[in-house]
Amino acid sequence: MPEEGVPLTPKADLLTTEEILTLARLFVKEGVDKIRLTGGEPLIRPDVVNIVAQLRQLEGLRTIGITTNGINLARLLPQLQKAGLSAINISLDTLVPAKFEFIVRRKGFHKVMEGIHKAIELGYSPVKVNCVVMRGLNEDELLDFVALTKGLPLDVRFIEYMPFDGNKWNFKKMVSYKEMLDTLRQRWPELEKLPEEESSTAKAFKIPGFQGQVSFITSMSEHFCGTCNRLRITADGNLKVCLFGNSEVSLRDHLRAGASEEELLSIIGTAVGRKKRQHAELFLTLQDSPPAVLSISFRDSLHVQGLRHRVSRSHQMVTLWEGGGVPQTPLLAQWWLGAGLPQRHYSSHPDSDANPKCLSPEPQAPATPSGPLPASGQLTHVDTEGRAAMVDVGGKPDTERVAVASAVVLLGPVAFRLVQENQLKKGDALVVAQLAGVQAAKLTSQLIPLCHHVALSHVQVRLELDSARQAVVIEASCRARGPTGVEMEALTSAAVAALTLYDMCKAVSRDIVLEEIKLISKTGGQRGDFRRT
């Protein structure tokens, strides 16, 4: 919960009980078999028990779930169970009462634990506990959460920290699924993977002998959009086909205007037809995916992750300045004096300054020419008979390796203006390109056949708008400690970021040129350092 709280939606804008049930009947009639009431906090809505009871009457609806902060759960659960509630998710990000109070801005940890035990007592199994893992806040509690599953029928679900409006998301705070899994396996090497259910958003694991299980929601590192069959209706009646997307369609307004069932189905069908095989505006591939599960969101005073649609510019990946007397303003919406338009820049480094000339978070030393790499006299990726072969690096010493590469994308006037103003229909091109560059660096060995896999310790992708050339200048840097260099990772990162910009802009201009993909510098190799003059 933000320290200043959140604005409340006027009651008149919220869906009424009957409107919720009308939409639920329509979706269930079309094949939806699971509805989850979420939020915000659904249990502070006075008609929630009645809504569950009415939903239970819908023929074809197999599951009615609820996601709650758990504070009112112990008191209301007997009534909810009687009304027909069949599944429970409880949001709990810490097992430390003082930390709990810091996160949610109120007391109540013991009420949440009481709610969890009440759910178990009433026979719910498993009781799902959702934990968003944030570096520097609760990643040290992973083992404590897993230990709960030893004697309790819980499904503890670790969720990768995702970017939502106002949560000050950055890469530094995100703990990836694989990092969490490694932590758990160091303590419980016998941890075993369970079969994945169709359309599941979770990767499930179990420790032999434990009552419960552990799951991971890998929304950022291994997105599951291609098999996602979920839709969401916000408390004020907007249909969202993707939680990350800006696009919403007001079903409430059409209902109140007297739209027929056929008209509503046509509106819904059009929206669902735009559902992507990717996080909207975050990942790369664009394809369709069918719906089957409906989630109804109750927005209220405990709402943390806002779904409001009247948001200008990119809100998925905003890094805020903190301290130093600088106003907390999104980096992607800084206004630079004399520019007339907001100058937009993006860096994967979470603490970088928004400098219109240089996106680096640290002062850059002038390039020191050290000449080209000494020629080896022969190609290294062929054997004595001229056949392709991977270089054996087994005998090379481990050294700190750093490489920097760059690329330039000449957009032309139309595409450049849309990128500059963040008005592309596909979304924030700079953010998507930056993410693509980071992902590409990590996947280089899968793209370039004879490259060794490198465990990168750091990847940084920076993008700078060049008004004079109507271009975006990309710089990618990679770092690792090992026996082989990382120049291919840096070059792949820059190249894929450039290709992604092309993909984001191709609908408005075909006159886009990718150029100057080149290695800028590399250090740490046996053949000496290189820095382009």
Structure-block tokens of residue 189:
């090497």
**Region at 387 (left for phi over 0; alpha for psi -120 to 50; beta for the rest):** beta
Q: Which residues contact 51 (CB under 8 A, 6 or more apart)?
A: 17, 20, 21, 37, 45
The tokens for 259 are: 């739209």
β-partners of residue 410 are 471, 513
Please give the helix or strand (H or E) that residue 472 lies within, else none: strand 471-482
Q: What stretches of 105-141 show up as alpha helix (H) in DSSP? A: 109-121
Q: 155, 300, 428, 503: which is the annotated catalytic residue?
A: 503
Q: Which two tokens stand for residue 154?
A: 């819980």
Write a three-state SS string for 287-352: CCCCCCEEEEEECCCCCCCCCCCCCCCCCCCCCCCCCCCCCCCCHHHCCCCCCCCCCCCEECCCCC
Residue 39: closest CA among 89, 107, 113, 108: 89
Assess whether the previous peptide bond of 126 is cis (omega < 30° from 0): yes
* Cα angle: 286, vertex 291, 297; to 5 degrees: 105
Amino acid of residue 36: R
Q: Mark whether 503 is an active-site residue.
A: yes
Q: Which two structure tokens, joined as six digits, stand for 496?
A: 């894929």
**Residue (of 72, 55, 65, 67) closest to 86 by Cα position:** 65
Task: Give catalytic residues, as residue numbers.
Answer: 503
